Amino acid sequence: MKHLPITFLLLTLSLASPVADAQTFQSLGGETGNVIVSTEPSEPSPNQYVTVSVESYATDLNRALISWFQNGKLEKEAIGQKTFLLKTGSLGTVSNILIVIKTAEGETLQKALSVRPGALDLVWEAESYTPPFYRGKALYPFQGTVKVVALPNIVTETGAVLNPKNLVYTWTVDGDAVARISGYGKNFMFFNGSVPLGPATIEVEAASLDKKYRARGSVILNPQGSEVLFYEDNPIYGVLYNKTLRGNVTLQNEEIRITGIPYYIGAKERENNSLRYEWQLNNQNVGGGSAKSSLSFKQSADAGGTALVALQVSNPAKIFQFASNNLSLTFGKTAAVNLFETP
């Protein structure tokens, strides 16, 4: 399973009473008006610079004296100062921001927010075939199925790490919320690719029950085409995965058994009734298109030549899951071909 690290911010906008907001920093008085606060980026990572912006439809902020307090300390103050640059802390820290606005009409408005950095990683695993001991990642095939798991890392100010099982997860696919897979403790989902083919954006928000702590992550799933590779199936050692057969292959022994191994196709086993193997020898169909993944070639005693071997593997239930390959076999003698099913 490939680990795709994606780190985001836990952001809480405080809409509490103006006295409580002020007392968090300094008792300045005033009322909470129609003040809108936003951050850019909206989901920064820990130890990252963030621009906080303020706007209001109730007054002209360009003529107002705006004061910015961070953790109780006045950091910036000027007429029309509608933005403030802060640096988020590490996991478990909080940056308390208080904005005090003195309008040209003599009113005092204020707004407070708390920035709590957090992390959320998304990992995914495709339900597609790869051979034994394959070191790479099973890729997401066209019309395939992928399991996506959210791994939040949310730390409170006291140093406590929130249990991922005790969070509420909200999943979206291409911007649309999916209620049936969202909810308390639902930290994973299964995504099924569909037609038309194309990438899919999976996003999730993990939040505490009181919504005080949040983290968000997203990943783009790009479907890939399947492929099939040829290997020798040795009677003593089995399938020799350390060397693919490709291009022109010269038969060294009296007999060779060739196995077609599909990669990134929607099956858990290659000898699966849902897969169809269609072999051709010199452009003639052989094998009947069943679940036979191997062909055996024997040299005759009187001649030599070349045979063109081709294979297409497909999943009839998923019309865009297919792969094909071919190679040439050079014999010292003329080849006779027998097809048999791999046990």
State the pLDDT at residue 250: 86
State the pLDDT at residue 273: 79
| Token pair for 313 | 């593997």
| Phi and psi torsions of 166, nearest 5° | -100, 20
Select the CATH number that applies to the domain covering 227-339 from these four: 2.60.40.10, 3.40.630.10, 3.30.43.10, 2.40.30.20.
2.60.40.10
| Phi and psi torsions of 244, nearest 5° | -85, 150
State the pLDDT at residue 286: 81
Q: Do 2-117 and 119-221 have matching folds?
A: yes
Q: Which pairs from 19-23 meet CB under 8 Å and 24+ separation?
A: 21/98, 21/110, 21/111, 21/112, 22/98, 22/110, 22/112
Q: Residue 120 CB: number of other CB atoms within 10 A? A: 27
Q: Domain limits of the chain?
A: 2-117, 119-221, 227-339
User: What CATH number should be reported for the domain whose range is 119-221?
Assistant: 2.60.40.10
Tell whether omega for the bond before 152 is within 30 degrees of 0, i.e. cis. Answer: no
Strand order across the beta sheet in which 65-70 lies: 9-14, 108-117, 95-102, 65-70, 73-79
Tens digit of pLDDT at every position of the chain (343 positions): 444 444 444 444 433 323 223 223 333 334 455 889 988 876 677 888 999 999 988 899 999 999 999 999 999 999 999 999 999 999 989 999 999 999 999 999 999 998 888 889 999 999 999 998 899 999 999 999 999 999 999 998 888 999 999 999 999 999 999 999 999 999 999 999 988 889 999 999 999 999 888 888 999 999 999 999 999 999 999 999 999 999 999 888 888 899 999 999 998 888 877 899 999 988 988 866 556 888 888 777 666 788 899 999 999 999 999 999 999 988 875 444 444 444 3
d(CA 180, CA 170): 10
Fold for domain 2-117?
Answer: Immunoglobulin-like (2.60.40)
Assess contact for 301 and 258: CB atoms under 8 A.
no
| Token pair for 84 | 């403030």
State the pLDDT at residue 147: 98
